[in-house]
Structures are given as C-alpha cells and as structure tokens.
Amino acid sequence: MGIVKLGENMEIKEEVIMKACSMAMKAHKSPEKQYLSKRIRSSSSEVVFSFAGSLSVNDWFAGSAFGEMKVDLQLFPSLKYVGLDQTGRVNEAFFKRFEAVLANPRFKVEVEKAVADRRQVVFTGHSSGGAIAILATAWFLEVYNRQSSNCMAPLCLTFGSPLVGDYIINIAIRREKWSRYFVNFVMRYDIVPRISLCPLSSIKQQLQRVLDYFNQNAPQPPNDAPAFYETVVKNASSVANYAACKIMGSTSPLLETVSSFIEPSPYRPFGTYVFCTGTGKLVVISNPDAVLQVLFYSSQLSTEEEKVTVAQTSLRDHLNYENYLQEHLKTSAVTNLFHHHQEALAVSWNVASAERDKVDMALNDLGLSERARLSLRAAEALEKQKLRNQDTIDGKKKDIEKCLDKLQEYQSKCAHKVGYYDAFKSSEEEEDFHANVARLELAGIWDEIIEMLKRYELPDEFEGQKEWIGLGTRYRRIVEPLDIANYYRHLKNEDTGPYMGKGRPSRYKCTQKWRDHAEQLPNEIPESCFWAEVEELCIKAGCQGTIESILHLKTKVDKWIQNEELGDDVLLENSTFTKLQKQHFLTN
C-alpha cells in the first residue's frame, strides 16, 4: 500500500496548505497589519486571507475566568442550538478583534471581489490569528454560503490556533455541514491549542512571557515554561476527564458536584484536526470528542525529567509549523483515525490488521496510552449510539405520518361543519375522541424526540435534516390547534395564563424554530398558534385596541390561507373567529 498524502486524503491541494502556512507565519511577523491577502499564484483559483495573531495577553482573554461571551446572533445567526434556543459562546477577546477586521471596509471589498471572481476564499492564521480565521470563515459561511448556493465554499486552515467556541458552536457547525471547511494543524506538544482549557487567572503573567518569546524578544523560552506547561496540562486533564465521564455515561453525583464548584473551560474543538506527531506522520481526526482527548493525552509526559525539555519543545513547536510541513507534507504517512461515511465516523482500528498496525504506530507516536485509546473508542461509540438513536426515531416516521393522515381526514370532515378547531374544542362526536387519541400518541413520540435533543443523544446534524423539518412543520400545523383547543376547553389559561406564555409545549417551539432557521424566517407568532390569538382576543373582548388586533390578525389569516399554511375553514360562518369579528364589527 503506497503512502496516501494529506492533500489526497482531505481533497485539499498541498500547494494551498503550504501557501496558507507561509502566509500565516508572515502575518504572525507583521502584527501591525490586521491581515494580508494574496492569490496563491496568478493562475490559481484561491485567494488567501491571513490574519495576524496578537502578542498581548489582553487580546487573548477578557472579562470572566475563561473570557467567553454569548455569540452575536445578528452576525452569526447559525451559531446556536436551534430548537432549544441555546446561544453558543465564543472567546470575547478574539471576537472583538474579528469585529475590528470586519469594520475595515477594505476587507469586505476584497472578499466581495474574490466571490464575484468565483475564487475560493482561504482564511488562515497562526496562533491567535487562527482564531480570527475561524471566526472569519463562520462569518463568510453565514453571509455567502447560507444565502447563496452558487458561492464557492471557503476553506479555513489554522496552525497552532487556540480554541474559540463552546460545544454549542460545534453542534451548530456540524448541523450546518460546515465542519469540513475547518482544518486545524496542531504539533504534538504545541501548548497554544490547549491554553483555552485553562483559566486566565492561573497563567496570566506566564502567558505574557510566553507571548514575548513568540515575538522573539527572548532568545530562550522563559524559565517558568515548565510550570506554565504543567498548569495548562493539568487544566486540560480536568476538562478531558470530565468530558470522558460524560461520554461514557457516568451518572455519578460526584461528577456534577465537582463541576458545580470547579468551573471547567467551556471551549471545545470543532472541524478537522491534523496532528503532527513530530516523527513525520500526520494523524487526521474529525470527531470533536476524540480531538479533545488527544489534545490532553498527547501532551502527557512519561517521566518527571521530560518536563523541562517538553515544556521548551511545546513553545518551539508553536513556531515550527512551516518548517515541519515543508519537510513532511509531501512525504508524510497520513492516518485517518475516523473515516467519514454519510457524516458518520468509524474508528480505523475496527478494520484489517495492516491498517490497524498503521493506526497503532500513529497512536504510539502521539504518545496515547491505553486509557487514551479507551477514551477514543468511547468517543466513537457515542457517535455510533447517536446514529442508532436516530435510526430508532426514523423508524417512527411511519407512525407519525399515519396519525397525521388520520387527523387530516378528520380535519376535512370538520371543514363541512363548524370547522376543525371548534369541532375538537366541543368534542361532542366519537370521531373527536379518536382525534384526541391520535393527538396524545403524537405528543408522546415528539416529546421523546425533544428529550433526546435535550440530552444531546441525537446527531448534531439532526436539527438541519430537511425531512424532519418538513415533518415537524406538518405536525405543528395539524396538531397544535388541537392542543390549543384542549388548553382553553379545560380553562388551563385561568391557572397558567395565556397559551403563548407558559402553555406552549417544547415540541411545537422546537419544530417551529427548525423551520424558521432553515428558511431564515423572522421570529413571529406562527400560523399554528392562530387559535391561541383568537382565544385571547375573545377573553379581552371590549378592551381598548381589540378591534385593531382583530384587523391585524385578519390580514395575517388571509396571507396564511393564500400560502396554504392555514385551512380556510377558520372563516366558516359558525367558527369562533368569524363570531369574534361579527361581535366587534356589528357592535361598533
């Protein structure tokens, strides 16, 4: 078996990788410039934007212990857990520096020109410049790729970048199928990709001395490099072990107790990582849980004597990416620990012995112990379990559709009488009872799905799957009116308040948010909640502003009916909505 080169393995030109690395290091040496831009060569189709890192500790951490902030959803609307409405968190200092780049009008003009010329935009950076490149890539994907399918996808290549965002960012990037655009190179001992796992308070002074060394103001690594390395690795250990316990399904109350008073770092890796072993090999990992474990275990030392040597190596390695890749990129044996298959990940050690031997050698070169390998297997097992969970709920699609078909048939029968909503609210016929059974059966299935999402038991891509978004929208439009009818028939509003306050179940909120996000719709009261608005207007009958509210609602109803999002049975003569209109417009 011949050597598989990295460019062939990842479908990225080696020329692009080397040019990006060269420009990333050039930007590192020109911190006075926000970024550099250049075509790889006159005939190439790529334009590279390389961002300068910062050598001031204040540009690495801001505010809290780990310096994180909620992401600006105006700028990054996709960086959230959609259905559960959880916003991702990013490093505030890096975000502010990216904002400064974005405020530079020249940057947007150059990016726009590259897009117009149908060139691939490559964002790159070394050290904290890599963090800016990551944010720039996410911004580009939001502005260009999410808005237009005609735009060439960008590429982000980082070299020794610190971590930028939390696990929500990772979920969002995978949901949008953007992971493959982020490729992060990490030298085995480079300490910088692990720094974000450590609170600033424990390393602030040491970090500034390290940054001074990176600026080549000091000929040798600082004397406290071993203490700095040990502090970062200890914190990385806490994060990795906590994550491993979660992956392996630990339910120990001690785990939660410890995490309640020892705050672990929120930062997590995402995208593809290429670990440079230091022995001429490259190890590719795309499973973010596995990457976190490798970041910790590959930095472990076997003896106390190694501490000083490795600590100094960890700083020198941070400046050695260009030399290493120039020497090994074209000749390196590439080991892909996880093979892609329909967005799934399968660990390579489950294959033929020759391939397994190759994997074992690569893991040895990364210094991964048996415990480390167990953590990697657990990360892969978790990914497989999520896929099995999806298979389970995929198997319930037919049950969902069968129930929805029954309710749609019930809806068409009601359309000839008083209307779907009012018929169910009065529940005077046997068919109303059967409709309620179908409603409850569907509630059970969808509540189970939402609970699995809350426990992160489904693939990160689940919320972006068109089939489930479509099925969720159909479910919401057909069944939510029945839930609203049941809510007001039993006067639950008198105890809990309006349906749209605390009465609306998560299953409808989630399915609505999936569609809103996929179709980039504004956050408004949806058509499926029409009857909740009607009920509240009936309760407020005679109050000031009621007529204006009814007229506004009538305008929305006409639009919903025209778009076939709402049935025209809502306008039947004896429907509650028609009676509401007659009551107000005849008496006023």
Q: Are 161 and 192 in contact (CB under 8 A)?
A: yes
Cα separation, 556 vs 294, whole angstroms: 54
Going by the DSSP 8-state scheme, the letter that residue 265 receives in this structure is: P
CA-closest candidate to residue 89, choices 17, 163, 146? 163
Cα separation, 535 vs 163, whole angstroms: 49
Query: What token pair was written down for 497?
Result: 């308040």
Q: What are phi and psi of 269, to 5 degrees?
A: -75, 155
One-letter amino acid at 187 equals M
Q: What is the CA radius of gyration of the chain?
A: 28
Q: Are 344 and 367 in contact (CB under 8 A)?
A: no
Q: Are 580 and 534 in contact (CB under 8 A)?
A: yes
Q: How many CB atoms lie within 10 A of CB 155?
A: 24
Cα separation, 400 vs 404, whole angstroms: 6
Cα separation, 167 vs 531, whole angstroms: 37
One-letter amino acid at 497 equals G
Q: What are phi and psi of 515, to 5 degrees?
A: -70, -45
Kind of pairing, strands 267-268 and 165-166?
antiparallel
Q: Are 164 and 90 in contact (CB under 8 A)?
A: yes
Residue 127 annotated to the active site? yes
User: Can you list the positions of beta strands (E) in 6-119?
Assistant: 35-39, 46-51, 68-70, 80-81, 86-87, 89-91
Residue 68 pairs in a beta bridge with: 91
Residues across the chain: 588
Q: Exactly one of 28, 318, 328, 517 is catalytic; name it.
A: 318
- Our CA angle for 367, 369, 370, nearest 5°, is 150
Using CA atoms in the order 545, 548, 550, 552, what is the torsion angle rounded to 10 degrees? -130
Residue 190 annotated to the active site? yes
Cα separation, 378 vs 372, whole angstroms: 10
CA-closest candidate to residue 182, choices 127, 119, 134? 134
Q: Are 190 and 317 in contact (CB under 8 A)?
A: yes
Cα separation, 54 vs 93, whole angstroms: 10
Q: Exactly one of 54, 126, 128, 190 is catalytic; name it.
A: 190
Query: What token pair was written down for 104?
Result: 């530079």
User: Residues with Cβ < 8 Å from 265, sequence gap 6 or more?
Assistant: 66, 196, 197, 198, 199, 235, 239
CA distances from 240 to 245, 380, 436, 483, 486 (A): 9, 15, 48, 44, 48
| 3-state DSSP of 503-540 | HCCHHHHHHHHHHHHHCCCCCCCCHHHHHHHHHHHHHC
Q: Exactly one of 127, 128, 238, 298 is catalytic; name it.
A: 127
Tell me the catalytic residues. 127, 190, 318
